[in-house]
Amino acid sequence: MTSLPDPSAIKLGLVIDLDICVGCQACVVNCKEWNTSGYGAPLSDENPYSSNPNGAWLNRVHAYEEFNSEKVKTVHFPKSCLHCEDAPCVTVCPTGASYKRAEDGIVLVNEDWCIGCGLCAWSCPYGAREMDPVENVMKKCTLCVDRIYNDNIPEEDRVPACVRTCPTSARHFGDLGDPNSKVSKLVAERGGYDLLPEQQTKPVNKYLPPQSSCESNEDQFSLLEMAESNSPKGFWEWMDNTLERLG
Q: Mind listing the pLDDT tens digit for each residue in 68-122?
A: 767 788 899 999 999 999 999 999 999 999 999 999 999 999 999 999 999 999 9
DSSP string of 41-84, one letter each residue: SPPPEESTTSSS-EE--S-EEEEEEEE-SS-EEEEEEEE-----
User: Tell me, what's the pLDDT at 60?
Assistant: 94
**How far apart (Å, rounded) are the C-alpha atoms in residues 71 and 52?**
34
Band the pLDDT of 37: cuts 50, 70, 90.
confident
In the chain, CATH 3.30.70.20 sits at 12-208
CB neighbours (10 Å) of residue 24? 15
Percentage of residues in the chain with pLDDT exceeding 90? 68
pLDDT tops 80 at residue 222: no
CB neighbours (10 Å) of residue 17? 22
- Of 17-26, 88-97, 105-114, 225-234, the one with minimum mean pLDDT is 225-234
Q: How do residues 145-160 score in pLDDT, each as one tens digit?
A: 999 999 999 999 999 9
User: Tell me, what's the pLDDT at 48?
Assistant: 83
**How far apart (Å, rounded) are the C-alpha atoms in residues 227 and 233?**
9
CB neighbours (10 Å) of residue 93? 24
More confident residue, 232 or 11: 11
Q: Candidates 3.40.50.300, 3.40.50.620, 3.30.70.260, 3.30.70.20; correct CATH number of 12-208?
A: 3.30.70.20
User: Tell me, what's the pLDDT at 239?
Assistant: 67
